[in-house]
Structure 1
Amino acid sequence: MSTDTVDRARRVIALQALAGVVAGVLVAGVATVGLVLVGQHREVQSQLTALLAVPDAEAVPSGSWVVTVDRFGRRTASAGTPASLPSAADLASARRGTVVDREAYVGDEEYQTRTRTVNGSVVQAGVDLAPYESERHRVLIALLVAGVAAALVALVAGQRLGRRALRVWDDALSRQRQFIADASHELRTPLARLALRADLLHDTLRQDGPREDIGPEVDLLRREAAALADIVEDLLLAAEVDSSPDSGELVDLAALVEEVLDLDLQLAASRGVELAADVGSVPPVRGAHPALRRVVDALVDNALHHAHSMVTVRLRDDGDDVVLTVADDGPGIQPGARDRVFDRFAKDPSSPGFGLGLALVREVVERHAGTVRVLPVERGTTFEVRLRAESAEEPDTDGTDGTVAAVTEG
């Protein structure tokens, strides 16, 4: 998903949120104005009915008036009654027995009037509509302000919602890209070893025919294929977005290191590099065997790529820790670059690969509650991995009492 597509999707989500809120405000506004109009109409009609029931010009509420015209044309009006009311048409209609309800305009003033005959006289009651008009204006202004505020809030909330909604896709795409990069890197070395062993086996069979001592070569080929299957399974588990790691197992790191060295001997020989080992007796460590195997494999492979003539692997017991060191006699790492070698895609331009191996090593080691660093040495490069030692007699637990959860890299 490109940046333009993501930005466009975010804008669409923000606009949809804005449209929804504006529509809601409009519906609420129409309903509110309707209720106000109905309430005002009922109040005005109630006042007119009360004024006509007791047409007393001396006791008229503020904002209303009553005027009486008797059969002789004498006019009696309360204070504030417009002089031009009632009109001749209203008088004529009322004398014919018709009740006249209408809005009357006197200059800029608007009144609601009701005219009828009471005891032979024409009585007109009126209510000034200016306060009601002002109330309607205040309601409309309040609704407009509320609508603008709601639209701004909806726009901001929509943008945040869009970013949050698309964050899941960004994360999924990032995991996908990371998985592809990790898989490409992790499978490169095992596939190279498989190809090398297959070529050696093919050349041997073609030159000498079937031999009785071909068994060890076939066994190495089988073990290499099994290791490759473990890596694929480990990577697939790590690619799951919401996977929960299982409890770790006790791993014999000495046997694991010897297994990796056996598989790398021919690869080292093909590159003219001597692969030496000093593997002592060490207690087990808790973790995931495939992931820890990848750590050893990646460090040895990195050393073989940079060594001039010698790679040395040591494993020793250091009390509470098991310490693995992998050293080569290559050009070494500049002091200022030691902290960056474990970053993804951090690599020397002249080095092969994509700069992922050491980053994957650090991720796996840290998930095993261990540490990895570059030791300061005069010649070449030496990596040190420290993992917490476990008692071999300690039973497996559910991972809650200081155990390290099974690790898959991703």
Structure 2
Amino acid sequence: MNPAGNRFRRARRLIALQALGGVLAGVAVAGLVTVGVVLVGQKREVRAQLTALAAAPTTEAVPSGTFVVRVEASGVRTASPGAPASLPSRDDLVQARSSGRDLDRESYVEDREYQTLTRVVDGAVVQAGVDLSPYESERHRLLVGLALAALGAGLVAAWTGDRLGRRTLAVWDDALARQRQFIADASHELRTPLSRLALRADLVAHGMRADAPRDALALDLVLLRQEASAMADIVEDLLHAADVGASEESGELVDLAEVVTAVGALNRQLADERGIALTVDVAEVPPVRGAGVALRRVVDALVDNALRHATSQVGVRLRPEGSHVVLDVSDDGPGMDPTVAHRLFDRFARHPASPGFGLGLALVSEVVHRHGGTVGVVPSTRGTTFEVRLDAVDLPDLSPEVRES
């Protein structure tokens, strides 16, 4: 498991949970306030109804859900239609007559709850009552509505919090991914220049110990300096590619013929050391638009790949073709299965003839596509041939000539 990825996932979950908690807390506060307001309003409404009913001159024509009972001093009882027969209770009658004060209480008759007001009016005990069932139903509907609102708000908050967490951490996640990619790219891209640099340094040291002619040593030193300069350019290009805000290449005019010739010269000694004949056939071609350092990495990576898989020969050919400049790099190695050729440009894809995981061809594909070109494997009966096509810049004053190196 990737520790950094786990931390990002935990951070996203924490942001989502914080958003969910905040929304639910807000809904809970709003719900409590709403319920409180509703309860106060219901109590006031019931009190107003009871006061009006108790002051009514008769027990006739009372609103639905209410009742009025009048008990005279003689014990005669008159009641509105639907009034419970058991109300007012004997205790209500005794307390109302003995205290002379209003009695406000809840009374239960079977499965119904009533709010009652009992008072003495002109020597008679009058009890007004309101059925609380509709108010209880209203409170129940309110609570169900608040629960559904909390559920909906919670789901929206969880989704929004997750999206917010992903967007908030996306920049850091991308930066971390670029960092890992840069380390992998740098380790791969610098491997070949470093090996050539070490080889040239060994040749210079061997020549100095053997008292080689100054001209030979001077040539080796020039190549050593060129290799170090090329490696510095690669590092600079990798830093540019790893920049979060990096965009397409600057768009300079690049002479691929010069690039291919230089790469061929730098790799010729390495090819000789491995006993491989390196042939470079470069035609004068129109320039392409892009970054010279990046395109040099493409040529260098393809030549290095060919040298590692070749048996005895590697061929590099650059030619114009219509509106394109075409680079072919071939080797006479064991070749590959055509059905898996497209996977060679995936990062860390395993080549059947290679002992490890590769990044070179994936980096080649990335650079070529950044330049608007294409790269692929050309079907062949022997070995492997890679073809790179780039758009040529139309300069009609160029005439095709062939340079052999």
TM-score (norm 2): 0.86
Q: Does 1:239 align with 2:242?
A: yes
CA gap 1:296/1:46 in 2 versus in 1, 3 angstroms: same
Aligned-pair CA distance for 1:93: 4.5
Inter-partner Cα distance in structure 2 for 1:335 and 1:94: 104
AA of the residue aligned to 2:55:
A
Query: Contact 1:252–1:283 at 8 Å: present in 2 too?
Result: yes
User: 1:54 is matched with which residue?
Assistant: 56
Inter-partner Cα distance in structure 2 for 1:303 and 1:147: 65
AA of the residue aligned to 1:382:
T
Q: Does 1:194 align with 2:194?
A: no
Query: Contact 1:14–1:154 at 8 Å: present in 2 too?
Result: yes
Inter-partner Cα distance in structure 2 for 1:140 and 1:264: 80
Aligned-pair CA distance for 1:249: 0.7
Matches within 5 A, 1:157-172: 171-172=174-175
Aligned-pair CA distance for 1:152: 5.0
CA gap 1:106/1:269 in 2 versus in 1, 3 angstroms: same
What SS class does the counterpart of residue 283 from structure 1 fall into? coil
Q: Does 1:340 align with 2:343?
A: yes
Inter-partner Cα distance in structure 2 for 1:246 and 1:263: 25
Query: Contact 1:55–1:123 at 8 Å: present in 2 too?
Result: no
Q: Does 1:351 align with 2:354?
A: yes
CA gap 1:178/1:168 in 2 versus in 1, 3 angstroms: same
Query: Contact 1:48–1:127 at 8 Å: present in 2 too?
Result: yes
Q: Give 1:291's match in structure 2, choosing from 294, 310, 315.
A: 294
Query: Contact 2:12–2:162 at 8 Å: present in 1 too?
Result: yes
Q: Give 1:25's match in structure 2, choosing from 24, 27, 30.
A: 27
Deviation string 1:251-309 (CA, Å, 9 cap, x unpaired) is 11111111112211221221122222221211110001111000111111112112222
CA gap 1:141/1:337 in 2 versus in 1, 3 angstroms: closer
Q: Give 1:370's match in structure 2, choosing from 373, 390, 400.
A: 373
CA gap 1:108/1:375 in 2 versus in 1, 3 angstroms: closer
User: 1:252 is matched with which residue?
Assistant: 255
Aligned-pair CA distance for 1:127: 1.1
Deviation string 1:10-59 (CA, Å, 9 cap, x unpaired) is 65555445444443333333223222211211110111122233332112
Inter-partner Cα distance in structure 1 for 2:253 and 2:354: 35
Aligned-pair CA distance for 1:66: 1.7
Q: Does 1:272 align with 2:266?
A: no
What SS class does the counterpart of residue 124 from structure 1 fall into? strand
Inter-partner Cα distance in structure 2 for 1:316 and 1:149: 65
Aligned-pair CA distance for 1:157: 5.7
What SS class does the counterpart of residue 142 from structure 1 fall into? helix
Inter-partner Cα distance in structure 2 for 1:65 and 1:368: 89
AA of the residue aligned to 1:287:
G
Inter-partner Cα distance in structure 2 for 1:211 and 1:30: 94
CA gap 1:228/1:335 in 2 versus in 1, 3 angstroms: same
Deviation string 1:80-123 (CA, Å, 9 cap, x unpaired) is 22333334444444444422222223333322122233344332
Inter-partner Cα distance in structure 2 for 1:62 and 1:274: 109
Query: Contact 1:94–1:115 at 8 Å: present in 2 too?
Result: yes
Inter-partner Cα distance in structure 2 for 1:377 and 1:69: 115
Query: Contact 2:306–2:331 at 8 Å: present in 1 too?
Result: yes
User: 1:105 is matched with which residue?
Assistant: 108
Q: Give 1:225's match in structure 2, choosing from 186, 211, 228.
A: 228
What SS class does the counterpart of residue 56 from structure 1 fall into? coil
Q: Give 1:215's match in structure 2, choosing from 214, 218, 226.
A: 218
Query: Contact 2:351–2:357 at 8 Å: present in 1 too?
Result: no
Stretch moving more, 234-243 or 381-390: 234-243
Stretch moving more, 301-310 or 79-88: 79-88
Query: Which structure 1 residue ranges, 5 or more long, are not aligned?
Result: 395-410
Query: Contact 2:72–2:123 at 8 Å: present in 1 too?
Result: yes
Aligned-pair CA distance for 1:190: 0.6
Q: Does 1:319 align with 2:322?
A: yes
User: 1:403 is matched with which residue?
Assistant: none
Q: Please tell me the root mean square deviation across aligned C-alpha atoms, in Å.
A: 2.9
What SS class does the counterpart of residue 338 from structure 1 fall into? helix
Inter-partner Cα distance in structure 1 for 2:81 and 2:119: 20
Stretch moving more, 39-48 or 337-346: 337-346
Inter-partner Cα distance in structure 1 for 2:351 and 2:85: 100
Query: Contact 1:93–1:99 at 8 Å: present in 2 too?
Result: no
Matches within 5 A, 1:55-94: 55-94=57-96
Aligned-pair CA distance for 1:337: 3.4
Deviation string 1:201-256 (CA, Å, 9 cap, x unpaired) is 12222331893653332222222111111111111121223323353111111111
Percentage of identical aligned residues: 65
Aligned-pair CA distance for 1:196: 0.9
Aligned-pair CA distance for 1:78: 1.5
Aligned-pair CA distance for 1:353: 5.3
Aligned-pair CA distance for 1:387: 1.0
Query: Contact 2:68–2:79 at 8 Å: present in 1 too?
Result: yes
CA gap 1:246/1:189 in 2 versus in 1, 3 angstroms: closer
Deviation string 1:351-393 (CA, Å, 9 cap, x unpaired) is 2553211121111112211122222233322222111110348
User: 1:402 is matched with which residue?
Assistant: none
Deviation string 1:126-179 (CA, Å, 9 cap, x unpaired) is 111122122222222333344445445555666666666666555444333322
Stretch moving more, 166-175 or 102-111: 166-175
AA of the residue aligned to 1:83:
A
Query: Contact 1:55–1:66 at 8 Å: present in 2 too?
Result: no
Deviation string 1:304-349 (CA, Å, 9 cap, x unpaired) is 1122222222212223111111222222233333323222223335
Query: Contact 1:185–1:353 at 8 Å: present in 2 too?
Result: no
User: 2:386 is matched with which residue?
Assistant: 383
